[in-house]
Structures are given as C-alpha cells and as structure tokens.
Amino acid sequence: MVVGIVGLGLMGGSMGLALKGVPQVTKVLGHDHNRSHCKEALKYHLVDEIAEWEEIRRADVIFLAIPVNGIINSFQNLTDVSPMCTIIDLGSTKEKIVANIPAEIRKNVVPAHPMTGTEKFGPSAALANLYRNKIVVLCNLEESGELQRATAKALFEAIGMKIVTMDAKEHDRHAAYISHLPHAISYALANAVMSQEDAENILILAAGGFRDMSRLAKSSPIMWNEIFKQNKENLLDAMDHFEEELAKCRDMVEKEDWKELASWMEKAQKLHDIL
C-alpha cells in the first residue's frame, strides 16, 4: 500500500520512519506546507518522496499528523477520496475532530491518538522507535468502515503499538489529566522560576528534579496552545483539581502539619504502583 503523511514534524516524521519497516507499505509520501520541513524529511529519509496534495489524496492510507484545526480543515479537502482509502488522524484531542468529520467520509476516518512524544519538534526530532510499545487510542470506531478499522489496527500493530478503544469525549477528559495538565504545570513552573531567578543561579542549582519537571516546557507552543484551546473545559476541570491538591499542600506547610503532609505524600506514591 502507498501511505501519505501530512505533517512531517516529530509525529509524522517518526511515523514515516516506522512505516518503512512494514512489509505491506510499498511507498511513503510526505506533504508539509513548510518547505524546509520537506527538505529535512528527505535529508533524514523520513519519507520516500515529497508529494503535492493531489497525490496524497490518491494514497491508500493518509495520516494527518498536524494540529487539530489543520486536521479539521484537511477533511474538507478529502471529501472525494476513494471509499477504500483510510484516513487516520493523530490529533491530541478527539471530540472536536470526530464532530467535524464530513458525513461523506466518516467511514474513511479512524480517529487516533498515539500516547507518545517528546518535548522536541520538527523533522530532526523524528525517532524510528517513537511508537514502539506505546499505547494508541482509537476513538468511536463503530462509525469507521470495516476496512478502515482493520487497516488502522494492522498498521499500528505492525509498528509495535498497543491498541485501546475509547469514546472521543471520554478520551479528552482523561487526556486533560494525563497529558495536558502536566504540560500546563511545566510551563507554569518554568515561568515562575524565570521570574524569580537569574540565569546564572538556574544553571548552577537546577538539578534532575527541576529538569524533569520543566522538560515539557520545551514543547511546541504553537501545538500546545491549540491543544489547550480545543480541550479547554476538560483542562480547566483538571486545573481545578490540581489547585485543590496544591492548596492542601500549602495549608499543611503553613500549619506545620508534617505528619499529615507525609501521609499526603505517601498517598501520591501509590500512583507509581499503577504505572
């Protein structure tokens, strides 16, 4: 099969590298509105060829590895694809994407969210094993065609992913806590430190804990600004719960209730019994 990838950054570029190891895939085409990304994608062998939109539309499988608004806009240019075509979006939020799939191609589309990534972005950040042994969430599969469901599952399994199915609305609520809130906290931490500490002290004193907590703040502001916008209500709900926990911590510290604070910390440790 011929696969077209729209968006040649971290996710799209890594998908291109991963698919090159799949026997069923005969050619990987790439498309990106950023011409420098196209050049880099060829330089790093992320795709076999750079293709114009018309050629991408004729591919057997089309991956949309672009921001959510771009995915929704792309659907409008794919309304006349072959009934046999499989369109897989890799958006980080799902409810608005699912709601905006044109009826004439609903069976063509498999909404997906690979639960993987790094704080880096662009074609040079692509990794051949980014998807291996990671979870991919497929949403509202009952609305996708039988061929498209089978194709998407086969490709994700071929690149080493574990498949989970979920309703789009449910996905967005969970993603707000597991993915989007941590990014918000990381940006906030970075800005808090930058406003209080000079660069020299940050370099001298910043150890592993701070580096780990602030790493996500290196993520693309363009991409994450849109994710926060698309999942606003769920993110605000997650922020409310986080602020409640932070307020508990502040209260225990102010009151010097160290025993209760220790119990609160021990409760938090149970998370890693699950992970």
| Angle at the Cα of 97 from the Cα atoms of 95 and 99, rounded to 5 degrees | 70
Q: What three-state secondary structure class fits 139?
A: strand
Are residues 186 and 107 both part of a single domain? no
Q: What is the CATH number of the domain that holds 150?
A: 3.40.50.720
Are residues 234 and 182 both part of a single domain? yes
Are residues 117 and 96 both part of a single domain? yes
Q: What is the CATH number of the domain that holds 247?
A: 1.10.3660.10
Q: Residue written as tokens 């972005």?
A: 121
Q: Please, where are the H alpha helices in 27-92?
A: 35-43, 53-57, 68-76
Are residues 224 and 162 both part of a single domain? no
Question: Structural domain tally of the chain?
Answer: 2
Range of the domain at 197: 171-274
**Residue at a domain's end among 131, 166, 201:** 166
Secondary structure letter of residue 249 according to DSSP = H
Task: Give 30's strand partners.
Answer: 5, 50
By CB atoms closer than 10 A (0-12, 13-18, 19+), residue 52 is exposed
pLDDT in tens, 151-206: 999 999 999 999 999 999 999 999 999 899 999 999 998 888 888 877 677 767 77
Banded model confidence at residue 143, pLDDT cuts 50, 70, 90: very high
Banded model confidence at residue 275, pLDDT cuts 50, 70, 90: low
Secondary structure letter of residue 164 according to DSSP = E
**Residue at a domain's end among 166, 183, 215:** 166
Q: Rounded distance, CA 145 to CA 162, Å? A: 20
* Residue 42 CB-half CA count within 13 A: 9
